[in-house]
Amino acid sequence: MSRIGKNPVTIPEGVNVDISGQDVKVKGPKGELSLTVHDEVSAKLEDNVVVVSPRTGSRLARSLWATTRSLINNMCVGVKDGYEKKLEINGVGYRAAVQGKEVVLQLGFSHEVRHAIPQGITVQAEKPTLLVISGIDNQLVGETAAKIRAYRPPEPYKGKGVRYEGEYIMRKEGKKK
């Protein structure tokens, strides 16, 4: 039995959940999200909680059970509070700026890297070396942060590159003479 899937999703204050068939719509103060639940899993609204259960005992149904519960929980938290990821930029001359609907990154290449900001995501450059990515969709916030980090991941010798705030980089010792 799934330890995560069996827990019901409590709906926070100010959030409305509407379940019609396999479609789940969550509306809150920050926006609205929707999800189509897989046919192997059912979601029901009971007493201000959402209960997710597998329809059959198949392996696919059991694996989708907890995933669906987590997705619905993330939607409830997202429309109420939102999600946020912070990226730190380390290196001489490395910096970032937001210009319109793009993030302009200077990461030691011969050219500047331009990354388009997806709809529903806001990016702020609090400092030239700190980017704050926020939105209501947890998956989209994480994916955007990961794509920006992938342009120049932190290297282990000097620690230069783009990393998540609080991420620990295992440092290596350089060459010896």
Q: Are residues 104 and 139 in the same domain?
A: yes
Q: What percent of the chain has pLDDT over 90?
A: 75
Residue 2, pLDDT above cutoff 80:
no
Q: Does 92 share its domain with 70?
A: no
Domain that holds residue 43: 9-80
Are 87 and 155 in a shared domain?
A: yes
Residues 75 and 90 in one domain: no
Please write down the HEC assignment for all residues of the chain: CCCCCCCCEECCCCCEEEEECCEEEEEECCEEEEEECCCCEEEEEECCEEEEEECCCCHHHHHHHHHHHHHHHHHHHHHHCCEEEEEEEECCCCEEEEECCEEEEECCCCCCEEEECCCCEEEEEEECCEEEEEECCHHHHHHHHHHHHHCCCCCCCCCCEEEECCCCCCCCCCCCC
Q: How many domains does the chain have?
A: 2
Residues 40 and 94 in one domain: no
Integer Cα distance of 60 and 79 in angstroms: 29
Q: Is residue 99 part of a domain?
A: yes
The model's confidence at residue 86, banded by pLDDT at 50, 70 and 90, is very high
Final residue of a structural domain among 80, 97, 120? 80
Q: Residues 39-77: pLDDT tens digits?
A: 999 999 988 899 999 998 889 998 899 999 999 999 999
- Give pLDDT tens digits for 124-144: 999 999 999 999 999 999 999
* This prediction's pTM: 0.87
Phi and psi for 159 in degrees, rounded to 5?
A: 80, 15
Q: Percentage of residues in the chain with pLDDT exceeding 70?
A: 99
Final residue belonging to a domain, choices 33, 49, 80? 80
- Is the same domain home to 90 and 140? yes
Q: In this structure, what CATH number is given to the domain that contains residue 15?
A: 3.90.930.12
Q: Is residue 169 part of a domain?
A: no
Is the confidence at residue 122, as pLDDT, over 90? yes
Q: What's residue 47's pLDDT? A: 87
Instruction: Tell me if 138 is assigned to some domain.
Output: yes
Is residue 13 included in any domain, yes or no? yes
Q: 65 and 90 in one domain?
A: no
Four-CA torsion 72, 78, 80, 83, nearest 10 degrees: 150
pLDDT of 26 above 90: yes
pLDDT at 1 over 70: no
Tell which wins on pLDDT, 110 or 6: 110
Q: In this structure, is residue 40 part of a structural domain?
A: yes
Q: What is the pLDDT of residue 6?
A: 85
Q: Specify whether 92 is located in the same domain as 153.
A: yes
The answer to whether residue 142 sits within a structural domain is yes
Mean pLDDT computed over every residue of the chain: 92
Domain end call among 55, 80, 105 = 80
Judged on CB neighbours under 10 Å (0-12, 13-18, 19+), 65 is buried
Q: Helix crossing, 59-80 with 138-150: angle to 10°?
A: 90
